[in-house]
Amino acid sequence: MIWRCGGRDRLAAGRPLVMGILNVTPDSFSDGGRYATPAAAIEQGRALADEGADLLDIGAESTRPGAQSVPAAEQIRRLAPVLEGLRDLVISVDTAHAGVAAYALGRGAVIVNDVSALSDPAMAGVVAAAGAGIVLMHMRGTPRTMQSDPHYDDVVATVEAFLRERLAAATAAGLDPECVAIDPGIGFGKSAGHSVALLAATARLAAIGRPLLVGASRKSFLGRLTQAADPRDRLEASLAAAALATYLGAAIVRVHDVAGTVRAVQVAAALRAATVDVGTRARN
Protein backbone atom coordinates (compact mmCIF):
# COMPACT_ATOMS: atom_id res chain seq x y z
CA MET A 1 0.00 0.00 0.00
CA ILE A 2 1.19 3.52 -0.84
CA TRP A 3 0.54 6.77 1.01
CA ARG A 4 1.92 9.49 -1.24
CA CYS A 5 2.59 12.79 0.53
CA GLY A 6 4.71 15.56 -0.92
CA GLY A 7 5.97 13.37 -3.76
CA ARG A 8 7.09 10.46 -1.56
CA ASP A 9 5.59 7.20 -0.39
CA ARG A 10 5.62 7.65 3.38
CA LEU A 11 4.96 3.94 4.01
CA ALA A 12 8.03 2.75 2.11
CA ALA A 13 9.69 1.60 5.35
CA GLY A 14 7.26 -1.30 5.42
CA ARG A 15 6.15 -0.69 9.00
CA PRO A 16 3.55 1.49 10.71
CA LEU A 17 4.35 5.17 11.00
CA VAL A 18 4.43 6.80 14.42
CA MET A 19 2.85 10.25 14.27
CA GLY A 20 3.80 12.45 17.21
CA ILE A 21 1.16 14.86 18.50
CA LEU A 22 2.15 18.50 18.94
CA ASN A 23 -0.64 20.77 20.18
CA VAL A 24 0.16 24.48 19.96
CA THR A 25 -3.07 25.33 21.77
CA PRO A 26 -4.00 26.54 25.25
CA ASP A 27 -6.83 24.03 25.71
CA SER A 28 -6.08 20.54 24.35
CA PHE A 29 -7.39 17.73 26.54
CA SER A 30 -4.03 16.19 27.49
CA ASP A 31 -1.36 18.86 27.33
CA GLY A 32 -3.20 22.11 26.73
CA GLY A 33 -0.92 25.10 27.21
CA ARG A 34 2.34 23.19 27.67
CA TYR A 35 3.49 23.96 24.12
CA ALA A 36 1.55 27.13 23.41
CA THR A 37 4.70 29.24 23.03
CA PRO A 38 6.80 28.79 19.87
CA ALA A 39 9.96 27.97 21.81
CA ALA A 40 8.25 25.25 23.85
CA ALA A 41 6.53 23.81 20.77
CA ILE A 42 9.72 23.68 18.73
CA GLU A 43 11.62 22.06 21.62
CA GLN A 44 8.88 19.43 22.00
CA GLY A 45 8.76 18.79 18.25
CA ARG A 46 12.50 18.15 18.23
CA ALA A 47 12.17 15.87 21.26
CA LEU A 48 9.45 13.80 19.58
CA ALA A 49 11.58 13.46 16.45
CA ASP A 50 14.56 12.37 18.54
CA GLU A 51 12.35 9.74 20.20
CA GLY A 52 11.61 8.26 16.78
CA ALA A 53 8.50 10.01 15.47
CA ASP A 54 8.25 9.53 11.69
CA LEU A 55 6.16 12.68 11.39
CA LEU A 56 4.66 15.40 13.58
CA ASP A 57 0.98 16.35 13.59
CA ILE A 58 0.79 20.02 14.57
CA GLY A 59 -2.57 21.43 15.58
CA ALA A 60 -3.50 25.00 16.44
CA GLU A 61 -7.17 24.29 17.23
CA SER A 62 -8.23 21.93 20.00
CA THR A 63 -10.64 19.18 19.01
CA ARG A 64 -11.34 18.01 22.57
CA PRO A 65 -15.01 17.49 23.46
CA GLY A 66 -16.72 20.85 23.88
CA ALA A 67 -13.97 22.84 22.16
CA GLN A 68 -14.90 26.02 20.32
CA SER A 69 -13.71 26.69 16.78
CA VAL A 70 -10.63 28.86 16.29
CA PRO A 71 -10.53 31.39 13.42
CA ALA A 72 -8.13 30.64 10.58
CA ALA A 73 -6.08 33.77 11.27
CA GLU A 74 -5.48 32.70 14.86
CA GLN A 75 -4.55 29.17 13.81
CA ILE A 76 -2.01 30.60 11.38
CA ARG A 77 -0.61 32.95 14.02
CA ARG A 78 -0.01 29.99 16.33
CA LEU A 79 1.42 27.79 13.58
CA ALA A 80 3.71 30.22 11.76
CA PRO A 81 6.82 30.23 14.01
CA VAL A 82 6.49 26.52 14.79
CA LEU A 83 6.34 25.53 11.13
CA GLU A 84 9.39 27.67 10.48
CA GLY A 85 11.30 26.12 13.37
CA LEU A 86 10.49 22.53 12.38
CA ARG A 87 10.41 22.78 8.60
CA ASP A 88 13.19 20.20 8.17
CA LEU A 89 10.92 17.51 9.70
CA VAL A 90 7.97 15.69 8.15
CA ILE A 91 4.97 17.78 9.14
CA SER A 92 1.24 17.16 9.14
CA VAL A 93 -1.07 20.07 9.93
CA ASP A 94 -4.16 19.21 11.96
CA THR A 95 -6.88 21.48 10.57
CA ALA A 96 -10.26 21.39 8.88
CA HIS A 97 -9.79 24.86 7.35
CA ALA A 98 -8.55 25.03 3.74
CA GLY A 99 -6.90 28.41 4.29
CA VAL A 100 -4.86 27.10 7.20
CA ALA A 101 -3.95 24.01 5.20
CA ALA A 102 -2.80 26.13 2.25
CA TYR A 103 -0.63 28.23 4.56
CA ALA A 104 1.00 25.21 6.19
CA LEU A 105 1.53 23.35 2.92
CA GLY A 106 3.21 26.44 1.53
CA ARG A 107 5.65 26.36 4.43
CA GLY A 108 6.81 22.78 4.32
CA ALA A 109 3.96 20.62 5.61
CA VAL A 110 3.21 17.60 3.41
CA ILE A 111 0.04 16.22 5.06
CA VAL A 112 -3.30 17.62 6.18
CA ASN A 113 -5.05 15.80 9.03
CA ASP A 114 -8.68 16.81 8.47
CA VAL A 115 -10.94 15.68 11.31
CA SER A 116 -13.95 16.93 9.33
CA ALA A 117 -13.19 14.83 6.22
CA LEU A 118 -13.46 17.65 3.65
CA SER A 119 -16.23 19.71 5.24
CA ASP A 120 -14.48 22.74 3.73
CA PRO A 121 -15.26 22.47 0.01
CA ALA A 122 -11.93 24.11 -0.88
CA MET A 123 -9.83 21.56 1.02
CA ALA A 124 -9.56 18.90 -1.69
CA GLY A 125 -8.29 21.39 -4.23
CA VAL A 126 -5.71 22.82 -1.84
CA VAL A 127 -4.34 19.38 -0.99
CA ALA A 128 -4.37 18.15 -4.59
CA ALA A 129 -2.56 21.26 -5.86
CA ALA A 130 0.20 20.73 -3.30
CA GLY A 131 0.54 17.01 -4.00
CA ALA A 132 0.08 16.50 -0.28
CA GLY A 133 -1.33 13.62 1.70
CA ILE A 134 -4.56 13.86 3.63
CA VAL A 135 -6.22 12.00 6.50
CA LEU A 136 -10.02 11.80 6.40
CA MET A 137 -11.58 11.14 9.80
CA HIS A 138 -15.05 10.19 10.99
CA MET A 139 -16.61 12.50 13.56
CA ARG A 140 -20.19 12.76 14.72
CA GLY A 141 -21.08 16.46 14.73
CA THR A 142 -18.38 18.94 15.72
CA PRO A 143 -15.94 18.97 18.65
CA ARG A 144 -18.36 21.26 20.48
CA THR A 145 -21.32 18.85 20.09
CA MET A 146 -19.85 15.42 19.36
CA GLN A 147 -20.16 13.92 22.85
CA SER A 148 -23.80 14.87 23.28
CA ASP A 149 -25.35 11.40 23.69
CA PRO A 150 -23.61 9.61 20.79
CA HIS A 151 -25.74 6.77 19.40
CA TYR A 152 -25.23 4.28 16.56
CA ASP A 153 -27.19 1.19 15.56
CA ASP A 154 -23.86 -0.32 14.47
CA VAL A 155 -20.88 1.96 15.00
CA VAL A 156 -18.43 -0.10 12.94
CA ALA A 157 -20.77 -0.37 9.94
CA THR A 158 -21.60 3.35 10.16
CA VAL A 159 -17.97 4.43 10.31
CA GLU A 160 -16.94 2.02 7.54
CA ALA A 161 -19.68 3.34 5.23
CA PHE A 162 -18.70 6.95 6.01
CA LEU A 163 -15.02 6.36 5.28
CA ARG A 164 -15.82 4.62 2.00
CA GLU A 165 -18.11 7.50 0.98
CA ARG A 166 -15.52 10.14 1.91
CA LEU A 167 -12.82 8.29 0.00
CA ALA A 168 -15.07 8.28 -3.07
CA ALA A 169 -15.86 11.98 -2.57
CA ALA A 170 -12.17 12.83 -2.27
CA THR A 171 -11.40 11.01 -5.50
CA ALA A 172 -14.29 12.73 -7.26
CA ALA A 173 -12.95 16.08 -6.05
CA GLY A 174 -9.60 15.42 -7.74
CA LEU A 175 -7.49 13.85 -5.01
CA ASP A 176 -5.27 10.94 -5.95
CA PRO A 177 -6.50 7.95 -3.89
CA GLU A 178 -2.86 7.11 -3.13
CA CYS A 179 -2.65 10.40 -1.20
CA VAL A 180 -5.56 9.52 1.10
CA ALA A 181 -5.44 7.86 4.51
CA ILE A 182 -8.48 7.22 6.71
CA ASP A 183 -9.20 7.43 10.43
CA PRO A 184 -12.20 5.96 12.34
CA GLY A 185 -12.10 8.86 14.79
CA ILE A 186 -11.83 6.98 18.05
CA GLY A 187 -13.26 9.20 20.78
CA PHE A 188 -14.80 11.68 18.36
CA GLY A 189 -18.53 11.43 18.93
CA LYS A 190 -18.25 7.95 20.41
CA SER A 191 -18.90 6.39 23.79
CA ALA A 192 -16.24 4.26 25.44
CA GLY A 193 -17.98 1.18 24.07
CA HIS A 194 -18.02 2.62 20.56
CA SER A 195 -14.29 3.36 20.76
CA VAL A 196 -13.49 -0.17 21.94
CA ALA A 197 -15.58 -1.61 19.10
CA LEU A 198 -13.76 0.49 16.51
CA LEU A 199 -10.34 -0.42 17.86
CA ALA A 200 -11.32 -4.10 17.74
CA ALA A 201 -12.48 -3.58 14.13
CA THR A 202 -9.11 -2.25 12.94
CA ALA A 203 -8.58 -5.14 10.51
CA ARG A 204 -12.04 -4.64 8.97
CA LEU A 205 -11.50 -0.91 8.50
CA ALA A 206 -7.98 -1.43 7.12
CA ALA A 207 -9.56 -3.69 4.50
CA ILE A 208 -11.15 -0.59 2.94
CA GLY A 209 -7.82 -0.42 1.14
CA ARG A 210 -6.29 2.86 2.28
CA PRO A 211 -3.77 3.36 5.09
CA LEU A 212 -5.63 3.38 8.40
CA LEU A 213 -4.63 5.87 11.09
CA VAL A 214 -5.57 4.97 14.67
CA GLY A 215 -5.47 7.69 17.31
CA ALA A 216 -6.28 6.20 20.70
CA SER A 217 -3.50 7.85 22.71
CA ARG A 218 -4.60 9.00 26.19
CA LYS A 219 -8.27 9.02 25.12
CA SER A 220 -11.02 8.98 27.75
CA PHE A 221 -12.16 5.45 26.90
CA LEU A 222 -8.75 4.20 28.02
CA GLY A 223 -9.23 6.11 31.25
CA ARG A 224 -12.58 4.42 31.78
CA LEU A 225 -11.09 0.98 31.14
CA THR A 226 -8.19 1.53 33.55
CA GLN A 227 -9.71 3.97 36.08
CA ALA A 228 -7.11 6.58 35.08
CA ALA A 229 -8.81 9.96 35.33
CA ASP A 230 -5.69 11.95 34.45
CA PRO A 231 -4.74 11.58 30.76
CA ARG A 232 -1.08 11.51 31.78
CA ASP A 233 -1.73 8.26 33.68
CA ARG A 234 -2.81 6.41 30.53
CA LEU A 235 0.62 5.54 29.12
CA GLU A 236 0.39 1.76 29.47
CA ALA A 237 -3.16 1.72 28.09
CA SER A 238 -2.09 3.88 25.15
CA LEU A 239 0.84 1.58 24.36
CA ALA A 240 -1.46 -1.44 24.47
CA ALA A 241 -3.90 0.25 22.08
CA ALA A 242 -1.12 1.20 19.65
CA ALA A 243 0.31 -2.32 19.69
CA LEU A 244 -3.10 -3.89 19.14
CA ALA A 245 -3.90 -1.51 16.28
CA THR A 246 -0.55 -2.31 14.67
CA TYR A 247 -1.08 -6.05 14.96
CA LEU A 248 -4.53 -5.70 13.38
CA GLY A 249 -3.26 -3.71 10.42
CA ALA A 250 -3.06 0.00 11.23
CA ALA A 251 -0.60 1.87 9.02
CA ILE A 252 -0.21 4.95 11.24
CA VAL A 253 -0.59 5.44 14.98
CA ARG A 254 -1.03 8.96 16.33
CA VAL A 255 0.41 9.29 19.84
CA HIS A 256 1.64 11.57 22.59
CA ASP A 257 4.29 9.19 23.99
CA VAL A 258 6.57 8.44 21.07
CA ALA A 259 9.54 6.54 22.51
CA GLY A 260 7.49 3.83 24.18
CA THR A 261 5.15 3.58 21.22
CA VAL A 262 8.01 3.03 18.78
CA ARG A 263 9.17 0.03 20.82
CA ALA A 264 5.64 -1.35 21.25
CA VAL A 265 4.92 -1.00 17.54
CA GLN A 266 8.16 -2.75 16.60
CA VAL A 267 7.14 -5.82 18.58
CA ALA A 268 3.57 -5.80 17.29
CA ALA A 269 4.71 -5.35 13.68
CA ALA A 270 7.12 -8.29 14.00
CA LEU A 271 4.34 -10.48 15.41
CA ARG A 272 1.99 -9.43 12.64
CA ALA A 273 4.60 -10.22 9.98
CA ALA A 274 5.24 -13.63 11.55
CA THR A 275 1.50 -14.35 11.66
CA VAL A 276 1.10 -13.46 8.00
CA ASP A 277 4.12 -15.61 7.10
CA VAL A 278 2.74 -18.61 8.99
CA GLY A 279 -0.62 -18.16 7.30
CA THR A 280 0.98 -17.93 3.85
CA ARG A 281 3.04 -21.09 4.40
CA ALA A 282 -0.02 -22.93 5.71
CA ARG A 283 -1.99 -22.06 2.56
CA ASN A 284 0.90 -23.17 0.34
**Pairing mode of beta strands 91-94, 111-114:** parallel
| 210 in catalytic set | no
190 is catalytic: no
SS3 for 40-58, per residue? Answer: HHHHHHHHHHHCCCCEEEE
Burial of 99 (0-12, 13-18, 19+ CB in 10 A): middle
Choose the catalytic residue: 64, 210, 254, 272: 254
Is 38 strand, coil or helix? helix
Residue from 219, 234, 272, 281 carrying the catalytic annotation: 219
Between CA 81 and CA 183 the distance in angstroms is 28
Q: What is the DSSP letter of 92?
A: E
Q: Hey, which residues does 254 pair with through a beta bridge?
A: 19
Burial class (CB in 10 A: 0-12, 13-18, 19+), 95: buried
* Euclidean distance between CA atoms 221 and 228, whole angstroms: 10
Identity (one letter) of the amino acid at 248?
Answer: L
Residue 205 exposure: Cα atoms within 13 Å on the Cβ side: 34
Residues marked active site are found at: 219, 254
